[in-house]
Every structure is written in C-alpha cells, then in structure tokens.
Amino acid sequence: MGLFNTILQKLGFMKDKAVEAVAGETAAAAEAPAAADAPAAAPETVDVVAVCEALAAKNPQKLNWRTSIVDLMKLLGMDSSLANRKELAKELGCPENLIGGDYSQMNVWLIKAVMKKLAENGGKVPEELK
C-alpha cells in the first residue's frame, strides 16, 4: 500500500527520520546511538487528531482535514491530485462505481476509509471521523 503507507509514515505510525521531522521531533534524539541499540519497543498508539491539529497549527492554510481527503493529504505534504486520490481509493478497496463516477462521493468514502484504516493500524481516531 504505497500512498496509505505514506500517510502512516507522515502521521508517525512508522518511526523514521522523515516522520520525526514532520512531527517536529529533534533529529538528534533519533540519531542517538543508544536508540539504535535499544530493543524494539511495542508500538505506541498514535493520536491522529493531536498529530493533525499540531500540523494544522503550523500550516498557513485553513485545512478541513477531518472531512476532506484533499485537505488531509495537503496537511501531510502529499500530492492531493485526482490521480493520487484514485490510486489511494483503489489501495483501500473503494467501489469501482465511486472511482469512475462522482468524485465527491469517492472523496467522502475515502476520508472515512482512511480514518477507519488508521484506527485498524493502532491509531486513536474518534468514532465520528470513521
């Protein structure tokens, strides 16, 4: 899952230097030798709303990431083009009639599917966003 994995990374589900930079963590902590030698810890729950609100506070645009897949992708620094949204919809199993038809319906399906999938991957997502 290419685009969904990118969303996971940008929200901090998969810790790496790029994710830490997006989340505002220091690179020095990530490069500490002790961290590299430490045993793998159980993954922490990612509070999706908290991460998105922190990113939104730093973003000059007023983005409605809670209900708009386009705005969520913009918030995460992703290409929110129709082609990418179609690709993401296919990755997540969107019905074909939505992918090839009314894009507003595809977008509504997509934001809910992304939020549901984030929750399935250990994210803390309020029910109303799923």
pLDDT for 29-80, tens place per residue? 334 434 444 444 445 789 999 999 999 999 999 999 999 999 999 999 999 9
Domain count, the chain: 1
Are 80 and 69 in contact, with CB atoms under 8 Å apart?
yes
Tokens of residue 107, six digits: 């977008």
| Residue 85 confidence (pLDDT) above 80 | yes
- Which domain covers residue 104, as residue numbers? 2-129
Nearest to 114 by CA among 14, 11, 20: 11
Tokens of residue 3, six digits: 């685009």
Count of CB atoms situated within 10 Å of the CB of 78: 17
- What confidence tens digit (pLDDT) does each residue in 95-128 have? 999 998 889 999 999 999 999 999 999 999 999 9
